Structure 1
């Protein structure tokens, strides 16, 4: 499939989705949102990890402010275009790594934070820039940020719209890792390969359990763990994992 605003390539079980409007710091247009959604919803079964990154100097600068139609109907745009895109990320059939190679602003920051894991180059930064133009954070920001960094830091980020450098974001627990630029590509590649060769079903169950834990009481979470662990225990990957452990070798997981 040919795309206009993203590139999408697959190799060794890894799909790399690159936002590809570098002339506008990969600002999100209607076409880009649709293409991201389509790419993620149509993954082949052999894709076991997705890396989402940006072309050029930035990851994503957020909404394309030159889009008059979107500005005229912000609520409709969020419902029709942003919600399917974000749901495609969080419900992706493979773990998603956001490889943040530069600025991640506004909806671009929240697109990154929707991924399962965020790895950012040290020179990158995150900003909830919405109040600078008289808006509130959207694209899931008001849900995800308090859960990652707590209400006080989330409120400060949203009200002041400060730039949060990647090392600080990692220190706060907003992202998984901040990496020096010379090591960034290699680090992302190694982590993607690790996920692509791992027990995909177990990874997705980890995602499900983590997301449910915020709303569940302890007893309910124990029930969910038992259910998900039972599913994992019936998988071919579990059999392979135990066999490899007993034989003192590396497991060869199939994702099944």
Structure 2
């Protein structure tokens, strides 16, 4: 891959956007590589957590407008370049952590919203920048955003297009944690390592269940029972119970 750095280490796959001179602005080629990277991490039996970050000073500044011709069909660009990446991410049953090291604007913001957790550098910020070029938020942005912070606040961020600094993001519930600069690398690594050491199948079933929370109660309770039946037969469940009984720390294997 040319525009994405991919590293597997100790159960964690780190995917880094690698166009630092443009604050990792997205291109069609980059998005294709990003989809491939997520697919690779999802299919690897060695990987139990995925981290998405950006090289350089920014996480991702959104679409590279220098690559967009004036007569482009924006809808077709979304369908062919962006939607496949978002679908790949949301179909992934492994936890995905956005390590937001700098600005995440436009579709870059959307990428963080498609992740399960958002760790923010204390100097990082989010911005729904679409309105500034006369476009609407895309790549699942408003769907994910309204679920996280409510419709009224999502509308505010989309129409006003203002920056959301890390402290405000934490208050709104957009950020999982805000991390000081001196702690950034170690704290991100520790967070990912903690997820990689958790019961992988239980996490997958939790993510699968959250997708179906639109169901009526009776249907959801049936689904819930099915998920619990699967979880109850895993080695990690037995290990957790044994560790509880013996008053020791469990060692989960992801099986």
Q: TM exceeds 0.5? A: yes
The within-5 A match list for 1:21-100 is 21-43=19-41, 44-69=44-69, 72-100=72-100
* Cα shift at 1:226: 1.4
Equivalence for 1:168:
168
2:93–2:208: 8 Å Cα contact kept in structure 1? Answer: no
- Matches of 1:69 and 1:242, distance apart in 2: 59
How far has the Cα of 1:93 moved from its partner? 4.0
Give the C-alpha shift of residue 45 in structure 1: 0.8
Is contact 1:119–1:178 with CA below 8 Å preserved after alignment?
A: yes
- C-alpha displacement at 1:223, in angstroms? 2.3
Partners of 1:6 and 1:36 within 8 A in 2: yes
Q: CA deviation at 1:219?
A: 3.0
TM-score (structure 1 length as normaliser): 0.95
| 3-state secondary structure, aligned to 1:66 | helix
Q: CA RMSD in A?
A: 1.4
1:41 deviates by 0.8
Q: Supply the distance in 2 between the matched residues of 1:63 and 1:226 (Cα, whole angstroms).
A: 42
Q: What is the CA deviation profile of residues 166-192 of structure 1, one whole-angstrom value per residue up to 9, with x for unaligned ones?
A: 111111112211122222222211110
Stretch moving more, 21-30 or 200-209? 200-209
Query: Deviation per CA, 1:182-223, whole angstroms, max 9, x where unpaired?
Result: 22222211110011111011111111222322x123333322
Whether the aligned pair in 1 keeps the contact of 2:93 and 2:203 (CA below 8 Å) is: no
Task: Write the deviation string for residues 91-141 of structure 1: whole angstroms up to 9, x where unpaired.
Answer: 224211000000000000010110111111111110110010010000111
User: CA 1:40–1:186 in 2, change beyond 3 Å: closer, same or farther?
Assistant: same
Q: Unaligned regions of 5+ residues in structure 2, if any?
A: none
Higher mean alpha-carbon deviation, 36-45 vs 126-135, is at: 36-45
CA distance in 2, matches of 1:147, 1:93: 19
| Structure 1 residue 251, shift from structure 2 partner | 1.4
Q: Mark the runs of 5 or more structure 1 residues left unpaired by the alignment.
A: none
Task: Output one character per residue of 1:72-93: Cα deviation in whole Å (capped at 9) or x when no partner.
Answer: 1211111111111111111224
* Cα distance in structure 1, aligned partners of 2:251 and 2:57: 37
- Shift in alpha-carbon separation, 1:70–1:19, aligned structure 2, 3 A: farther
Consecutive aligned runs of 4 or more in structure 1 exceeding 3 Å deviation: none
Q: Deviations over 1:41-78 (max 9, x none)?
A: 12211100011100000000001101135971211111
Match of 1:226 in 2: 225
